[in-house]
A and B are shown apart, each in its own frame.
Chain A
Amino acid sequence: MTGTLPLLRFLLRRERMSLPWWLLGVTLLVLVQSVQSQNLYGSPEALQKLRQTIGANNAVIAMSGPTGLLESIGGEVVFEIFAFASIVVALMSMFLIGRHTRADEESGRAELIRSARVGQHAPLAAALSLAGLADVAAGLLVFIVAAGTGLPIGGSVLFGAAIAAVGLVFASLTAAAAQVFENTRAVYGTVAMLLGAAFALRAAGDVGSGALSWASPLGWGQRTFPYSADRWWPVVLSLAFTTLLVATAVLLLARRDFGAGLVAPRPGRARASALLRNAYALVWRLQRGALVGWAAGLALLGVAYGSIGDSIEQYVRDNPEIAEFLPGGAADVLNAYLALTAGLSALLAAAYGVSSVLRIRAEESADRAEVVLATPTSRWTWLASQLSVSLTGTALTLIAFGLGEGLAYGMTVSDLGQVPRLIGVALVYLPAVWLIVSVTVLSVGWIPRPAAVVAWLVIAYCAVIALFADSFDLPDWSRRASPFVHTPNAPLDDVSAMPLIVLGVLAAAFAGAGYAGLRRRDIGY
């Protein structure tokens, strides 16, 4: 254990730029939810109506938590936000442990540290202390925000403690996984899978008898029932499980060599498959994982949005305040809702497109581009191969969203014709998404170094315009700079081809200009 304290100080220093953002994220989630819920359902009658609407909607229960939470307004906040806030805290804990145990060992940094007067267990102890501090800080912030927005003190303490407990469970789980697997990706993959399983078990349990929820650390947290039953013993259960996992990690650490895991990585292919033969195959191989992830995420989001489509009309009639946020107001509530969700999914698809195009820069600065460009692969082919993923990928993510929303909504209203309809709706936003992709290409071509910053600013700008232009009364010209403003608000508005064609032509022109820049400039600088 020698050296744990200096190491912990060092880790805190290394995390000083990123850890605050995680904590801010959790704080904001709870803050916004608490204020919003108290505004919307502050009265006992509103809460009663909500219990009736939601009690009948399994999709909402699966996304959120057990209906038993809806006894009080504080419980309603926990119902809506607990699962998401605890996912954020779990991921924070996972990355904190992974980065400072297995990732450091893999990169060789830990070797340098271990060669100093540092005990065998010190790096693990320091990482666990760091995650522990971060989780406690997150719990404390949740308590402060909940109590500060007027929720009862006692329940708020339990709310914060339950969130911190979920973080501790996943920190110790990651610590154990980091001993088992030799590379960091396998550690993250396993823990993320278990987090997904924890969410799924809790969802199934909350919809059903509740038994399955007891197999999930997220379920333990929600079943403390803050602000009503105020049960503390599930928190103790989490802490006991955490202790068990930490003990396992320490035992495993003593049984393995430095740098090794308990599971040897599987060997890969000795020869490339016949498909891996050119730049296109390479780029698709490299980016398929990210594409599948984004498409799956957007499909799930579509399912979430689609599943409440049917109750949205009812819901808005009960809560007229919500109608103000929907384009078109209360008149055509359902279509306005679908248009809003499609617009949001288009922003996410554009974010995926930007991240995909920026891989060009990543390949360049990592000097992997020169390996490819030193073969007969031309710069045109290289760019085109990257863009084939970005353009097809953005279309696929939009289709995935439309598919998810169409299936979920179609099933609640027994009309599977909604599937092709909502896929079509999502694709109306494709030219605008492609325009943002092509602006990224333009920046990569002409201003490679600030390209990433510029591209993400474009996304942020479009998001601000889409979400806040109406509430903040932004001037008209500022709206018109966003390609989404020129996209028909399908399915609320009629779709006309002209703006879509103009957006498409502009996208092609920007991408072409981007290639001209890439053709002229030095590669790798």
Chain B
Amino acid sequence: MSTSSESAIAVTGLRKSFGATKALDGLDLTVAKGEVHGFLGPNGSGKTTAIRVLLGLLRADGGEVRLLGGNPWRDADSLHARLAYVPGDVTLWPSITGGEVIDLLGRMRGGLNRRRRDELLDLFDLDPRKKARTYSKGNRQKVALVAALASDVELLLLDEPTSGLDPLMESVFQRCIHDVKSQGRTVLLSSHILAEIEALCDRVSIIRLGRTVESGTLGELRHLTRTSIAVETARPATGLESLSGVHDLVVDDHHARFDVDTAQLDIVVRELAPLGVRSMTSSPPTLEELFLRHYGDEEAGS
């Protein structure tokens, strides 16, 4: 376990309830300085609550929370000078223009880079002269993103920042995050879009029902996953069902489709060879499947 002087965020055993509802029930989250950390979970799993605790907006019921070496509840004001936050559902003041909001938030955070601001407005194709009431959800999100990305801060807390952006803007966003990363800044990126996490993140924490269920690099997590294989064989594909590590097997005479635990891949391939492989496709494990497994389990269990 890394100490708080090395980590941007160090959370252990965080609990938070609203009345009878347990929003967070023993959350662990460690984000090292300079990394882009994916915070993955479905809606209602507690991602937003966790970020609000990190911002000192909500008081933790229990557990340890350290943010940039400080206590987010007690030292909120001084810590906030070093971070920028983009909420999941950005609401703005209807009578104020996007450009004004960007400048205001930047000044409140202690100044923003004007050149960078204008570049970002260009990149995101955002008209800063419109009143916030006329912006769509995506445009309100762009306002908050430009304000955050143009500030000179150590840590970015982004709560599902692309949920309102179209694919083109999402790729712009990904480039911006790469830039931020190359400057050595830290990003906590909550999302339920797996492609985005795969494209951007060094490490991932998966949260379910307010608890961390998986945490590690993408490589580490792939060990826990399965490879999908579709194979056409010369002889009827028999005997596969007895192999350990093979799941969801569908055999149709000379064709077989199944998932295999990545650790068992080697043994299974050897068993296939004697059958005379005519064609074979294998899909690498994606976070998608990892994700489905975690929440699929949950659905099965509940």
Contact = CB atoms under 8 A, between A and B. Distances in A.
A115 interface: no
Nearest to B19: A525
Nearest to B157: A374
A367 B58 contact: no
A268 interface: yes
A270 B55 contact: no
Contact of A522 (B59, B81, B90, B102): B59
A377 interface: yes
A366 to B, nearest CB: 5
Interface stretch (A17-25, A145-153, A279-287, A457-465): A279-287
Contact of B109 (A183, A281, A370, A375): A375
Given A375-B80, A376-B110, A378-B76, A272 B103 contact: yes
Given A268-B129, A271-B128, A272-B99, A376 B78 contact: yes
A368 interface: yes
Contacts of B84: 374
B185 to A, nearest CB: 17
B130 A277 contact: no
B134 interface: yes
A268 B85 CA distance: 25
A426 to B, nearest CB: 30
B92 interface: yes
Given A268-B129, A372-B108, A367 B87 contact: yes
B74 to A, nearest CB: 11
Interface in B55-108: 55-59, 76-78, 80-81, 83-85, 87, 89-93, 95-97, 99-105, 107-108
A285 B77 CA distance: 23
B60 to A, nearest CB: 10
A522 B18 CA distance: 10
B91 A368 contact: yes
A379 B76 CA distance: 9
A183 B134 contact: yes
Contact of B104 (A267, A270, A277): A277
B39 to A, nearest CB: 16
A182 B133 CA distance: 11
Contact of A367 (B81, B89, B133): B89
B52 interface: yes
A373 interface: yes
A276 B52 contact: no
A487 B170 CA distance: 62
A524 interface: yes
Contact of A278 (B76, B102, B108, B129): B108
B52 A376 contact: no
B257 interface: no
A520 B110 CA distance: 26
B246 interface: no
Question: Counting chain A CB atoms within 10 Å of each CB, which of B55, B104, B105, B131 scores highest?
Answer: B104
A277 B101 CA distance: 10
A497 interface: no
A277 B102 CA distance: 11
Contacts of A372: 108
Interface of A is mostly: loop
Contact of A268 (B78, B102, B130): B130
Contacts of A374: 55, 57, 80, 83-85, 157
Given A271-B128, A367-B91, A282 B104 contact: yes
Contacts of B83: 374
Given A265-B134, A368-B93, A271 B103 contact: yes
Contacts of B18: 525
A523 interface: yes
B209 interface: no
Contacts of A371: 85, 87, 90-92, 105, 144
A276 B104 contact: yes
Contacts of B144: 371
A269 interface: yes
Question: Counting chain B CB atoms within 10 Å of each CB, which of A106, A272, A368, A521 scores highest?
Answer: A272
B57 A269 contact: no
Nearest to B131: A268
B132 to A, nearest CB: 9
Interface string A329-361: 000000000000000000000000000000000
Interface in B149-205: 157
Interface in A504-525: 520-525
Given A268-B131, A372-B108, A374-B83, 13 more contacts: A183-B134, A268-B99, A269-B129, A276-B104, A276-B107, A277-B104, A370-B57, A370-B85, A371-B105, A376-B78, A376-B81, A523-B57, A524-B58
The 3 residue pairs across chains A and B that have the minimum distance between CB atoms: A272-B103, A268-B97, A267-B129
29 contacts: A182-B134, A265-B134, A267-B97, A268-B100, A268-B131, A270-B128, A271-B103, A276-B100, A277-B108, A279-B108, A282-B104, A368-B92, A368-B93, A370-B52, A370-B87, A371-B85, A371-B90, A371-B91, A374-B80, A374-B85, A375-B80, A376-B77, A376-B108, A376-B110, A377-B77, A378-B76, A522-B57, A522-B59, A524-B52
